[in-house]
Amino acid sequence: MTLSKIFNDFQTEVKVSSPGRINLIGEHTDYNNGFVMPTAIDKKIFFEFKRNVSTDNCRIYSKTFDSYFEFSLAEISKQKDSWKNYLLGVIEEIQKMDKKLGGFDCIVKSELPIGAGISSSAALECGFAGGLNKLFTLNLSKQEIVELSQRAENNFVGSNCGIMDQFASVMSKKDHIILLDCRNLETEFIPADFKDCKLLLLNTNVSHSLADSEYNTRRAECEGAVKKIKQKYAEVSSLREVSFEMLEEFKDQLTEKTYQRCLYVLNENERVQKASEAMKNGELKKFGELMYQSHKGLQHHYEVSCPELDFMVDFSEDKDFIYGSRMMGGGFGGCTINLIEANKIDDYVKEISKAYAEKFNINMDVISVSPSEGTVIE
């Protein structure tokens, strides 16, 4: 059967829209069992599924990349194209759970920019898992979809991510922000009342090669400190259980770099909790100040920013109509997230676009986002 015959005559059985996510504050805290404040956004990846007559042959076509591949459920192996591995990892994790899949065809179309730090990977994983769950009546809960999608990224793709991205992609509620405790997944949905402001993402359009390796390095640095502190304090299993007093006690036993990493995480957890109170109280200026503090911590203590991100944040600081700005995501590129008065967006975008292009000879992209519903399956 030809490719055009398979996908032009497609009788859809299951439709899925799976959103990207933003994180207002709380970066690199999820894998340290800390606090984060994410939400899904109104930019999504769309899937269409149908079963095929094959017993175990799977055929997937990406409209976005105009790319096709097929594989047998009995033979899952890594592909060169990274987007394929997020899907294959989901298949592998579902099969590890002794859930019965069959042959299927799938069309994928994305409106999420790659490398922007809005977690297209989690949207791919969670939307794909949710669609297969319905297509084959696997009876997986939302929580199980979140967790297997995270495992797919950890085990198959090889990125040692925390649970925030997948959780936000699946669990978010429209017009709300999640205060998520990554230690026990305790969740509070806070109304996203930004008054006269909107959330604006400015994409640097750079993705430095350090991003993946340094992400795993940061996690290893934090876990190394925990291991050392645990020798005296048995109750410590992550930086979440480490107090400022404990950290100071072990300062001389840690490298200066590792100490700074840990100090950032402890401070960021405090910032997230303060930010949640500020949001509930409608104190947007205070919320914005915490965003700026978060960026400085990421820049100087956690060292995951880059000149392009720093330029964007610095450029915003003297503008009284911008309440807060910070880098978002793993770092070394991607977007800044900005809390900005809505009626000033157009003029500001023109101003910063010109300045950014003059400084780096790169054109930035602008993405206006709103808090949205998590994965929707029809």
Catalytic residues: 165
Rg of the chain (C-alpha set) = 21
For every residue of 248-300, DSSP letters joined together read HHTGGGS-HHHHHHHHHHHHHHHHHHHHHHHHHTT-HHHHHHHHHHHHHHHHH
Residues in the chain: 378
DSSP structure class, residue 140: -
Structure tokens belonging to residue 239 = 């930086």
| Beta strand spans in the chain (E) | 14-23, 35-36, 38-51, 57-62, 67-72, 104-110, 176-181, 186-191, 197-207, 322-327, 333-341, 365-369, 371-372, 376-377
Structure tokens belonging to residue 75 = 């033979």
Which ranges of 116-255 would DSSP assign to H, the alpha helix?
A: 120-135, 142-151, 164-171, 210-230, 244-249
Structure tokens belonging to residue 104 = 């299927």
